Structure 1
Amino acid sequence: MGDQNKTPSIFSPYSSADPSMNVPVTAGAAGSIMSPYLNFDPSYINPGADSQFIFPEGANRQRGRLELSFSQIGGSVFVGAAVGGLNGLYTGLRETNANQLTGAVRRTQMLNFITKQGASSAQTLGVVALMYSIFGVVLSYGRGVDDELNTVVAGTATGLLFKCSAGWKKCARGGAIGLTLATAYVLFTSQDRIKSQLNK
């Protein structure tokens, strides 16, 4: 009779210690049991503090040009929309004040300026980012290397292609702008790598 009133041992709280790990194994107030197999020091798993991600065999630890291109294009579209929207807001305020518009007419004109200039800037930067990404991916796969030379060549080619329909002078100017921006980006982001290459 006394044995029937006893709670089974599997549901009763307990407190003990694992001698091999010297980590106490205790149960909560509600009687839930903590497994000794889950109570361990995580530093035993990764003693070297290396990356804890699992990569497929043959995969790179960094994202390539193709993966980065999606975020670059999307980010360029958002930046273009924000810059164009702010420019449209400024232009709308100036134009509506000059024409002395008020009320609903002014709000409509302001929205027109903001949406039109925001969409135009977003489309322009999105196209530029798309062309740059295509050149970068083609160069990366064609050469088999993703380095700073790909960035500079892709930036220059993007500037040339973007202005190619406006005459050779504007085309050369666009290429020069692309070369300058790409070189400045490379110098800013890869200073250590460039120094190590020059010191060899």
Structure 2
Amino acid sequence: MATINDNNDIYAQNYGNNPSLSGTYKPFTSPYLNFDPGYVPISQPEFIFLDGSNKQRGRFELAFGQIGGSCMVGAAIGGATGFYNGFKATTLAGETGKLRQTQILNHIMKKGSATANTLGSIAVIYSAFGVILSWTRGTDDDLNTMAAATATGFLYKSTAGLRKCGMGAAVGLGISALFALWNSKDKLAQLTQFNPA
């Protein structure tokens, strides 16, 4: 058994055997931390991927971020719209004080939640179509994006009649076509520089 003044005592090795209250402080050492830093690579962090898998997230993994982002964007846009509408309505009604604050908050919450639900629902439908098309076709390309957006617009407006369904599908196709063009601007730049002569 080790005593306080014994050199084999772990307390004496780490904090010294000075008879003062605090002793002399030495940094704590552990036999488990005694390693050669040469074993630790100084390169950038690397991610571990399964053999044969591609090194980017698929449509299913991206769906969760898209849905959450759509809800947050919808809440922000709806909240700003609700603030504007509430401010205008309370000014016209001549309300002041706590009543005005409550009315403005009610407008913000009502419009913010409605817009967040709308954009979140659209994102869920779009993500579901995108994942199904990606798994069915075995690839994830711009055709999947445009087909998923067109089907989303069609399904989202399906309860409003056939004309509204067509308009929803056209809006979805238009937005996705613009996104596909913006997403493949490098390919378009290469095509415009092509000189057949």
Query: Take 1:81 and 1:87, find their aligned partners in 2: how far apart are those partners?
Result: 10
Q: Which residue does the alignment assign to 1:184?
A: 178
What letter corresponds to residue 120 of structure 1 in structure 2? Answer: A
Q: Deviation string for 1:8-34 (max 9, x for gaps)?
A: xxx9xxxxxxxxxxxxxxxxx97x8x9
Hey, what's the Cα distance between the residues in 2 that align with 1:121 and 1:54? 39
Post-superposition CA distance 1:133-188 (Å, at most 9, x none): 00000000000011110001011111111111111121111111100100111111
Within 5 Å, give how 1:158-177 maps onto structure 2: 158-177=152-171
- 1:19 corresponds in structure 2 to none
Give the corresponding residue for 1:142: 136
Identify unmatched segments of 5+ residues in structure 2. Answer: 1-6, 8-12, 14-25
Query: Which letter does structure 1 place at the counterpart of 2:153?
Result: G
- Closer/same/farther in 2, CA of residues 36 and 94 from structure 1, 3 Å limit: closer
Which residue of the other structure, out of 89, 114, 130, is the alignment partner of 2:108?
114
* Secondary structure of the structure 1 residue equivalent to 2:47: coil
* Residue 38 of structure 1: aligned partner: 37
- Equivalent residue for 1:105? 99
Shift of residue 107, structure 1, vs aligned partner: 1.1
What is the aligned partner in structure 2 of residue 58 from structure 1?
Answer: 52
Q: Calculate the aligned-residue CA RMSD, in Å.
A: 2.7
86, 92, 112: which one aligns with 2:86: 92
- Number of residue pairs aligned between Structure 1 and Structure 2: 170
Take 1:63 and 1:71, find their aligned partners in 2: how far apart are those partners? 11
AA aligned to 1:97 is: T
Whichever residue aligns with residue 155 of structure 2, its letter is L
152, 160, 166: which one aligns with 2:146: 152
Secondary structure of the 1:53 match is: coil
Superposed CA deviations along residues 39-73 of structure 1, whole A, max 9, x for unmatched, are 48957xx6xx8x72221212220000000000000
Hey, what's the Cα distance between the residues in 2 that align with 1:42 and 1:61? 21
Deviates more, 1:91-100 or 1:51-60: 51-60
TM-score (norm 1): 0.74
Q: Distance in 1 between matches of 2:121 and 2:191?
A: 33
- Structure number with higher helix proportion: 2
Structure 1, gaps ≥5 residues long: 1-6, 12-28
Q: Give me the whole-angstrom Cα distance separating, in 2, the residues matched to 1:38 and 1:82.
A: 48
If the length of structure 2 is used for normalisation, what is the TM-score? 0.75
CA 1:137–1:40 in 2, change beyond 3 Å: closer, same or farther? closer
Rounded to whole Å, the distance in 2 between the matches of 1:184 and 1:75 is: 20
Counterpart residue type for residue 77 of structure 2: V
Identity of aligned residues (%): 45
